[in-house]
A and B are shown apart, each in its own frame.
Chain A
Amino acid sequence: MIARLTVAERQSALLILIVMSFLGLAMAAAGRGTPFGLHGFLVIAASIGVGLPLLRKFYAPEPDPAQFEQYYDDPTKVGIVLAMLWAIAGMFVGVWVAALLAWPDLTIDAAWASFGRLRPIHTSGVIFGFGGNALIATSFHVLQRTSRARLPDQLSPWFVLLGYNLFCVVAATGYMMGVTQSKEYAEPEWYADIWLVIVWVVYFLIYIRTLARRKEPHIYVANWYYMAFILVVAILHIVNNLAVPVSFGDFKSYSAFSGVQDAMTQWWYGHNAVAFFLTAGFLGMLYYYLPKRAGRPIFSYRLSIISFWGITFMYMWAGSHHLHYTALPQWVQTLGMTFSIVLLVPSWASAGNALATLNGAWHKVRDDATLRFMMVAAVFYGISTFEGSFMAIRAVNSLSHYTDWTVGHVHAGALGWVAMITFGSIYALVPWMWKRETMYSARLIEVHFWLALAGTVVYVFAMWNSGIIQGLMWRTYTDSGTLAYSFIDSLVAMHPYYIARAFGGLLFLLGAIVGTYNVLMTIRVAKRERAQSGGGTDVPSYGRDPVLQAGE
C-alpha cells in the first residue's frame, strides 16, 4: 500500500509525521504527567506507528503509472476494516454500560470504568468510530465512481482517515481520564477539536478537488448528501466548540457560551449532528448502494433532490425541541417543534423513495440479505423520523423527555437505520473492493441480519415500554396532590426492561462480530485467490448482479 504512494507523497507524509511528533513532544512537555501530557505521548506513538512502515518502504521505486488509470481505493479498504473494528469496540462498551444499568453491582472500583466515563466511549465509539469511518470509506468510493474521476492525490485521503482515527482514539482515552467538556456528542476538549477541524477541512477539500476534476457533468445526488454532511459538520463543530483553554499546557477549556445560549448552541449542534452526521451522510450511502445493489435506478430522482434541500434547510432549525419547558424563549421552542414536524415530509420522501425503488425487486430483497439490510434501514428511517417529529411536539415531549423513550428513539435510528444501512453498504462494497464475486459467506450475512434485526426490535421495544412507564409514573399524582411514586419506584419498574435492553444490545454486538469475521475472511480469501492466479491488475466484476442463493 505504501509502495503505491509516489516518492513525493512519501516524503510529504514523513514531513507531516515529523511535525506531529514534535507537536506531541511539546504537548507531553507542557502537560507533564497530566492527561494532556499523556495525549502528547499518544500523538508521538501514533506518528511513530505510522512512520515505521512508511520508512520501511520509503526508498521503494516510483509506483507503476498504470495505477493512475484506476480509482484509488486503498483508504476505502482500510476505512471499512477500521469501521468494523470500531463497531465491535463501541458496541461492546454499549453492552457493558447497559449491563451496568441493569446490574449496578457489576462495576469495578476504578474511576475510568465508571458509568459516566464509559457512556461517552460508547456513543463516540459507535457514532464517530464506526459511523465516521464508514462514511469516510464509502464517500471516497461513491465520490470517485459518480464523478468518474480519481481522487486528486494519494496522501490527503490517508491524512483524513488516519487523522480522524487519531481524533477518535484521543477522544476515547480522554474520557477514561476524565477529559471532557461535558457537551453531549461534543465531549472532546479543545486540542482534539482543533485537530478535527484540520482533518475535516482537508476532507472537504478532497471532495471539492475531485468534483472539480469530474468527467461526469452531473453531480449525482449521493454526493450532495455527502457534501452537506462534511460542510455542515464542520460548521457545527467549529461553532459549538468555541472555547478558551485554561492554558496551552492544560486540557481544560471553558465554553464561549453560557447559560441558555450555551444550551441552545449545544442542541443546535446536537440535533444537527443527528441530521448531518447520522442522516445526510448515510442517505448518501442509501442513494448509491441501494439502487446499485438492487440493480434498479432510484424511483424518483426529482424527489431525492427535493428531499435533499428540505432536509438541509429545515433540520437547521429543529434543535430547540431538545429544550422544551426550559429558560429558552417560548417562540424558539415552538419554532423548533414546528420545523421538526415539517421535517417529516422530506424524511418520508427519502424513505418512500428507497422502498419504491425496491418495488419490483422484492424477490431480491427476499433472497439477498445485503439488500434486506438496506430495506430494513429505510423502514427504520421512516419509523424513527416519524417518532422524532412526534416526540418534538411539546405536549408529547412533556411525557417523553428525560425518559428511556428518548433512548429507544435514538437506538431505533442508530441501530435500525444507521447501522443497518452501513452493514448493507459494506456487504455490497467489500466484494467490489477486493475484486471478488461475493462475500466469504452469504449464510453469515443472513445470521448477522437476523441478529441485528432481533437485537434492534428487543432493544427498542424494551425502551419504549420502560420510557412510557417511567414518564407516566413521574407525572402521576395522588388525590392530595403529591407524587404517587418515588423515583426509586420508577427505577424498580424499569429493571426488567434494562435486562431486556442489555440482551438486545448483546444480540446486535454478536451480529457485528459475525459481520467483521465475514469481512476479514473475504479479504483473506481474496488475497489467497489473487496469489494463486498470479495477481492480475485487471478490473473485473464491478457491481454485477448479486449471486442469488439456492431456493430462488
Chain B
Amino acid sequence: MHDMVVAFSKSWGLFYLVALAVGVVIYAYWPANRARFTRAKNSILDKDDRPWS
C-alpha cells in the first residue's frame, strides 16, 4: 500500500503539476483574455464607492 502511494505520488504528482503550470500559462497568455485582464486591473482605480445596483 505504502509503495503504491509513493509510486503514484512520485509519477502522477509530477504530471499533474506540469499540466497545471502549462494550463495556467496558456490561460494567462490567451490573446482573447488580454482585454479582460486590462479592464480588471484598471477597474479598481475608479473613485466609485457605492455598490452597483
Contacts and interface: CB of A to CB of B under 8 A. Distances in A.
Interface of A: 69-71, 144-146, 148-150, 215-216, 218, 220-221, 288, 291-292, 295-298, 301-303, 305-306, 309-310, 313-314, 331, 539, 542-544
A220 B44 contact: yes
A146 B47 contact: no
B45 A148 contact: no
A428 to B, nearest CB: 13
A220 B40 contact: yes
A146 B44 contact: yes
B50 A298 contact: no
Contact of B39 (A218, A310, A544): A218
A71 B50 CA distance: 6
Contacts, number: 79
A297 B47 contact: no
Secondary structure at the B interface, as helix, strand, loop or mixed, is: helix
Given A218-B36, A542-B47, A291 B24 contact: no
A305 B50 contact: no
Given A220-B40, A301-B38, A70 B45 contact: no
Interface in B1-41: 6, 10, 17, 20-21, 24-25, 27-29, 36-41
B28 A302 contact: yes
A172 B53 CA distance: 43
Given A301-B37, A306-B24, A306-B28, A288 B44 contact: yes
A543 B46 CA distance: 8
A150 B52 CA distance: 9
A306 B52 contact: no
Contacts of B37: 301-302, 305
28 contacts: A69-B53, A70-B50, A144-B51, A148-B51, A149-B51, A216-B43, A218-B39, A220-B43, A220-B44, A288-B44, A291-B44, A292-B45, A295-B45, A296-B45, A297-B41, A302-B29, A305-B28, A305-B37, A306-B24, A306-B28, A309-B20, A309-B21, A310-B24, A314-B17, A331-B10, A542-B47, A542-B48, A542-B49
